[in-house]
Amino acid sequence: MASTLKEEKLYINLIRILGTLLLALSYFYEYTNQAAISLIGGFLVLLLYMVLIWAETTWWNEVKYYVVSMMIISIILVLHYVFDSPHTTLLWPLYFIILLMNRVYPRVSLIMGLITLSCIAWVNALSLSTILGLLGVMLVARSIKIRRDAHLLTTLHLKELDRAHQELEVAHKELQEATVHSIRYAALEERTRLSREIHDGLGHQLTSLIVQLQALQIMHVTEPEKASDSINQLLGIARQAMAEVRVAVKEWTNDEMGLGIVALKGLVSQTQGRSSVQFKFNQNSELSEWPIETSIVLYRVLQESLTNILRHSDADQAWIDIDEAGDRIQLTVTDNGRTEKGGAGHLGYGLNGIIKRCEEWGGSVSISSVEPHGFRVKVMLPVERIAIVEEKE
C-alpha cells in the first residue's frame, strides 16, 4: 500500500512540473509582446495556476476552488473583452486541470468544468460538434477518475479485510491453544481427584485385606472352615481393588488422545464445585481414543451447555450421558430446570454457537424440552471430522 501511494504521489508531482512548464511557455509566447496590462494580467493568471497546481490538498475547500477558478476566468475574459487581448488559450489548462486534479470535490469539478467549457465555446465561437466533443472529454475524464477512486477504495478494503482475516486467524489459533490448555488442566484435576479417591478407597481396601490376611493365618490353624469362608471375602475385596486400579491406569494415560473423556469429567467436577446443581456423569459404552480436535469440540459444547444450565435453567439436577457407536459420539446434557420463554425454538448466542461448531465438524445437534420441565441438548459428532461438502453429498 505504501509503495502504491508513493508511486501516485510521484505521478502527480510529474504532472505538476510538466503543467507548470507548459503554462510558463504559453504565457511567454502569448503575453511578452503585449501591452503592460495584458502582461500583468497574464502573470496574475499564471500565479493563480501555480496556486491551483501546487497548493496542498489540506489547504483547499470548495469556496477556494470556486474563487481561484473564477478569478482565472474573470481575468482572461476582462483582458480579452475590455483590453482587447487576442489570446485566451490560458482558459484551456483550467478546463483540464479541474477535470484531472480535483478529486476531493467532484461537485466543484463538474460545475467549474461546465462553466469553463461554456466560456471557451463563447470566446472561440466553437461549433456544436466541438462543444459536444469537449463535453465528452469531460465526462470520460470524470468516469476515469471515478473508476480510479473506486479501484483505490476497493484495494484499501481488500487490504483491510486481509489484515482482519490474519488477525482472526491468530485469535483462532490462540483460542485453540487456550482450549487445549483448559482440557489438560481439567484432565489433570480429574486425575488428582481419582488419585485421592484411589488413595482413600483402594488404600482402605488394601488395609482391610492385610488385616484379614493376618487373621487368616491364625484362623487357618484354629478354625479351618471359617478360614475358607474368609478367603472368598478376601477375593472379592481384591477384585474390587483391581477394578479401581484398571480404571485409574486407563484414564491416566499420558497420550493426548486419551485426554477427551478425562477432560469432560474434570469439567463436570469443576462446575460441580462452584454450583449447587447436582451433576451426574454417565459413560454408557466403551470409548475409543479421540483426536485432540474432536476433544476440543466436545469440551466446548459441554462447557457451553453447563454454562447455560447455571445461568438460565434454575435446575437443581443435571445429567451428562456420553456413549459411542461406530464412528459417532453422542453427548447428551439434560437438566430439570425451567424452559425459557419460546421453548426450544428460542435459541440464544450460546446454543447457536454449539450448533455451528458441531455442523462445521460434520455433526448434528438436537435441542428439546423435557416433560414435565427441563431442557435437553443432544449432540451427535463423528470421531473424525467430516467435510460439510461430503456430508451434503
What is each CA distance from 270 to 187, 331, 360, in whole angstroms?
11, 18, 28
pLDDT beyond 50 at 389: no
pLDDT beyond 70 at 64: yes
The answer to whether residues 375 and 312 touch, using CB atoms and an 8 Å cutoff, is no
Which are the contacts of 118, defined by CB distance < 8 A and separation ≥ 6? none
The string of pLDDT tens digits covering residues 177-213 is 777 777 777 766 666 666 666 665 666 667 767 777 7
Per-residue confidence at 257, pLDDT binned at 50, 70, 90?
very low
Per-residue confidence at 282, pLDDT binned at 50, 70, 90?
very high
Cell of 364: 448434528
Q: Which residue has the cell 470548495?
A: 62
360-388 average pLDDT score? 86
Cα separation, 60 vs 105, in Å, equals: 9
The answer to whether residues 337 and 314 touch, using CB atoms and an 8 Å cutoff, is yes
Residue 254's pLDDT is 43
31-36 average pLDDT score? 80
pLDDT beyond 60 at 341: no
CATH code of the region 256-393: 3.30.565.10
The string of pLDDT tens digits covering residues 37-50 is 888 888 898 899 88
Q: Which residue has the cell 465528452?
A: 136
Residue 103's pLDDT is 58
Residue 391's pLDDT is 43
Which are the contacts of 315, defined by CB distance < 8 A and separation ≥ 6? 277, 309, 335, 336, 337, 338, 374, 375
The string of pLDDT tens digits covering residues 312-337 is 888 899 999 999 988 899 999 999 98
- % of the chain with per-residue pLDDT over 70: 75
Q: What is the dihedral of CA 296, 302, 303, 305, to 10 degrees?
A: 140
* Residue extent(s) of CATH 3.30.565.10 domains in the chain: 256-393
- Give residue 222's Cα distance to chain centre: 80
Pairs from 193-200 (Cβ < 8 Å, separation ≥ 24): 193/266, 193/269, 194/247, 194/248, 194/251, 194/252, 195/248, 198/244, 198/245, 198/248
**Gap between the terminal Cα atoms of the chain:** 42
Q: Which residue has the cell 449447587?
A: 276
Residue 288's pLDDT is 83
User: Looking at per-residue confidence, does 284 or 242 come out higher?
Assistant: 284
Per-residue confidence at 91, pLDDT binned at 50, 70, 90?
confident
pLDDT beyond 50 at 255: no
Q: How would you class 71 by CB atoms within 10 Å of its CB: exposed for 0-12, middle for 13-18, buried for 19 or more?
A: middle
